[in-house]
Amino acid sequence: MRSRTVGFLGGHRVAVALLVATVSALLLASGASASAPVLEFVAPGHAFPVTFTTESGAVTAELAGFESVVECAASTGEGKITGPHSTLSQYTFTGCKAEGTLNANCNSTGANTGEIVSEEIEAEPVYIDQAREEVGMLLDPEGNIYMKFECGGEQVEARGPFLAPASPVNKATTSFTATLSESLGVQLPNEYETSSGEKRLALPTGKRGTHEPASTGVEAAFTIHTAVPIEVRAITTGQMEAKQREEAEKARQAEAKRAEETIAKLRGEVAAGKHAEESLSAKLTALERRLKEEARRKREVLLASALKRCKREPARKRSQCRAQAEHKYGGTVRKGKASTTESRSRT
């Protein structure tokens, strides 16, 4: 019996050494699926709502297809940030005139001559371009009438939605800028991204008298002053995924270290002959099984994350992206007992 045990222990010295050499390869980083980008208002140390005021210099508005341009000398506004993703505000424009064919003062009903007062305008922060980390405010996202006024007896209506690039981001401050730009009666930029990366249009329109609605563009530069410091927190999908990869690598290294410590302990136990053949064999077998199962599970998670990213690729690149992901991570993602390939074929 003695010689049998010594032979067993000697054989498992080799087994333990092999496990130490391969543990890092067996343990893959655990990867959570890619999260949606973060874009929100944060008020450190304060609760919402947070009030704000705005001011601007000259404001011009042009309706596509018409020679007349509405020009205002200045504007002021006030509003509140109602939550992490929403604001409400109202604006008053002064010294407003229609230059061109109308050549008349403009004003809202009941307002002073040359004074235009907006309706209450909803807005939310959006990514204009995640890749460039460009952020803006999407005003009047539902496309309601946000302003009515009259120039020389002719009624004018304005509808959203429209975009105003804003800055700064990722910095707590009480002063922000928002800029409206247009070209030939078309608001620029006029496209933004949803949280899933889908591109959507934001095309404001205007209606003059009995004419059909047409695209409209506004030029203005606003300064916004908040009652307390506010941060426009903007973390793109790419930044989120990089952070997840970093955290996953740290977790993988910590787990590999724990596994190596366990194996080192077992090696010491083997060397000291503290356990009988059956007990030691069971521990080593259980450890090997756990390492392999963890590796398999983590490969599946990484593959699922990679395939999800492939869906955001252009259609012509998706097949190649999927093939590369399946080749890299083994090509199986279990859904119940189905593989990725089987699940895809049923779809």
Mean pLDDT in consecutive groups of 10 residues from the start of the chain, 347 residues: 44 51 48 72 97 98 90 98 98 95 91 97 96 94 95 94 96 97 94 92 95 95 98 88 81 88 82 69 85 87 86 86 85 49 42
Rounded to whole angstroms, the Cα distance separating 74 from 115 reads: 10
Q: Which pLDDT score is estimated for 41?
A: 98
- Number of Cβ within 10 Å of residue 242's Cβ equals 11
**Can you tell me the distance from the alpha carbon of 55 to that of 1, in angstroms, rounded to the nearest whole number?**
92
Burial zone of 295 (CB within 10 Å; 0-12 exposed, 13-18 middle, 19+ buried): middle
Return phi, psi of residue 3, to 5°. Answer: -65, -35
Model pTM? 0.64
Tokens 């928002």 identify what position? 178
- What is the per-residue pLDDT for 6? 42
Q: What are phi and psi of 26, to 5 degrees?
A: -75, -30
What is residue 182's predicted lDDT score, i.e. its pLDDT?
95
Angle formed at CA 141 by CA 139 and CA 146, multiple of 5 degrees: 65
Amino acid type, 341: T
Q: Provide the token pair at 169.
A: 């981001």
108 closest CA partner among 145, 64, 69, 66: 145
Dihedral over alpha carbons 246, 248, 249, 252 (to 10 degrees)? 160
- The DSSP letter of residue 100 is S
Predicted pLDDT at 266: 81
Radius of gyration (Cα) for the chain, nearest Å?
Answer: 32
Terminus-to-terminus CA distance in the chain, angstroms?
A: 59
Q: Which residues contact 83 (CB under 8 A, 6 or more apart)?
A: 41, 48, 49
Alpha helix ranges (H) inside the chain? 2-26, 237-272, 277-310, 315-329, 340-346
Alpha carbon dihedral 49, 50, 51, 54, in 10-degree steps, equals -120
Report pLDDT for 338: 40
